[in-house]
Amino acid sequence: MKKSIVTIAAILMLLTVMTGCVKQQTTITPDVETKQPEETAEQTATPESLQEPSVDIPDFPRVDGSTATIPLAIALYQKFTGANEQDAEENVVFTMTDPSYYALRDGETDILLVYEASDQTKEETKDSGFELTPIGKDALVFIVNETNPVESLTTQQLRDIYSGKITNWKQVGGNDVPIAAFQRPENSGSQTMMKKLVMGDRPMMEAPSELVESEMGGLIEVLDKYSDEANAIGYSVYYYANYMYAKPNLRFLLIDNVAPSNKTIQSNAYPFINEFYAVVRSDEPADSPARQLAEWLMTADGKTLMEQTGYVPT
């Protein structure tokens, strides 16, 4: 399987702002500030105290995974190798959620930082011997134009919108305009989360092609520019939409009167929360860089790095 390189210049710019000056020595944690520092857990480790596996650039594992974990992969690569941004851009190569599972199955990568696979991908890779270790929590969020008067929807209202029962914003307290309910493609990470966390056993309506957006960033762009009536709604992963691709003209809906945030994700107060994982093959040697990296992410120091990079560790 040929990997497609994600364009991460914008993400690296974001990471630069978040991290400040990343030290070149591998014994020092990047000095990272989150976008919402008041919502992250208290830091207990100092940069000088953090330990990591002995991983040099030639031995650093091949990492793949989901779009929303690219900043984590970049932070890890820079931390363990002392690489600069250009080196990270050249070496962090992601194929996205479901394709990355196939890449791990086929021996084209060593470790995944990844969200849950679709049912189809799970079935097709079920004999691959994957070991999934939960390392963090994220959430599915719903996005509308800031001029949309609707502030909050219930879980049931979302199900009714995406099953086709509710078709006009007036039915949920908004303007008398039709709802343009955008979806993601089948086998995308966001669509998998949508079906699992929101729809359950209830089938989603079949969306016309113009309401299905193939890229995470593309969906946010479409919501930002869709129409003057602000009648569009779509969904994404909280970390991506809040830290990596925020738009000033868009906002998150409250769900059951709870706003998504690092704090409500950590406390499970927000309803649509899902774990993401470090994944290795079961035959990965105990002392391999990939397994060392997966195990390090579960340590206090690993969780601190995740918090500092804006993630919510398990």
CATH number at residue 227: 3.40.190.10
Residue 212 lies in a domain: yes
What is the pLDDT averaged over residues 131-151?
97
The encoded tokens of residue 68 equal: 């929303």
Q: How confident is the model at residue 88 (pLDDT cuts 50, 70, 90)?
A: confident
Q: How confident is the model at residue 225 (pLDDT cuts 50, 70, 90)?
A: confident
| 27 shares its domain with 151 | no
| 248 shares its domain with 151 | yes
| Bridge partner list, 237 | 140
Amino acid 53: pLDDT:
63
Say how far residue 224 (Cα) sits from the centre of its chain: 20
| 156 shares its domain with 96 | no
Q: What is the mean pLDDT of the chain?
A: 85
Q: How many residues does the chain have?
A: 314
| 26 and 82 Cβ atoms separated by less than 8 Å | yes
Amino acid 84: pLDDT:
85
Pick from 26-40, 78-92, 289-303: least confident: 26-40
Pick from 28-32, 69-73, 237-241, 279-283: least confident: 28-32
Amino acid 54: pLDDT:
59
| 72 shares its domain with 29 | yes
The larger pLDDT score, comparing residue 32 to residue 153, is at 153
What is the pLDDT averaged over residues 25-50?
35
CA distance 196 to 199: 6
CA distance 22 to 19: 6
What is the pLDDT averaged over residues 30-48?
37
| 77 shares its domain with 202 | no
| 250 shares its domain with 102 | no
| 122 shares its domain with 199 | no
Residue 68: name the closest of 276, 223, 224 by CA: 276
Task: Calculate the alpha carbon distances from 33 to 20, 44, 46, 228, 234 in Å.
Answer: 8, 15, 14, 36, 28
Amino acid 226: pLDDT:
86
Residue 191: name the closest of 106, 294, 117 by CA: 117
| Bridge partner list, 236 | 141
What is the pLDDT averaged over residues 254-277?
98
Number of domains in the chain: 2
Residue 4 lies in a domain: no
HEC states along the chain? CCCCCCCCHHHHHHHHHHHCCCCCCCCCCCCCCCCCHHHCCCCCCCHHHCCCCCCCHHHCCCEEECHHHHHHHHHHHHHHHCCCHHHHHHHCCCCCHHHHHHHHHCCCCCEEEECCCCHHHHHHCCCCCEEEEEEEEEEEEEEEECCCCCCEECHHHHHHHHHCCCCEHHHHCCCCCECEECECCCCCHHHHHHHHHHHCCCCCCCCCHHHECCCHHHHHHHHHHCCCCCCEEEEEEHHHHHHHCCCCCEEECEECCECCCHHHHHCCCCCCEEEEEEEEECCCCCCCHHHHHHHHCCCHHHHHHHHHCCCEEC
Residue 3 lies in a domain: no
| 169 shares its domain with 228 | yes
Residue 132 lies in a domain: yes
Amino acid 26: pLDDT:
23
Question: In which domain, by residue range, is 227 found?
Answer: 138-273
**Strand 250-252 relative to strand 130-145, pairing:** antiparallel
Amino acid 51: pLDDT:
55
CA distance 162 to 194: 10
Q: How confident is the model at residue 55 (pLDDT cuts 50, 70, 90)?
A: low
| 183 shares its domain with 284 | no
Residue 1 lies in a domain: no
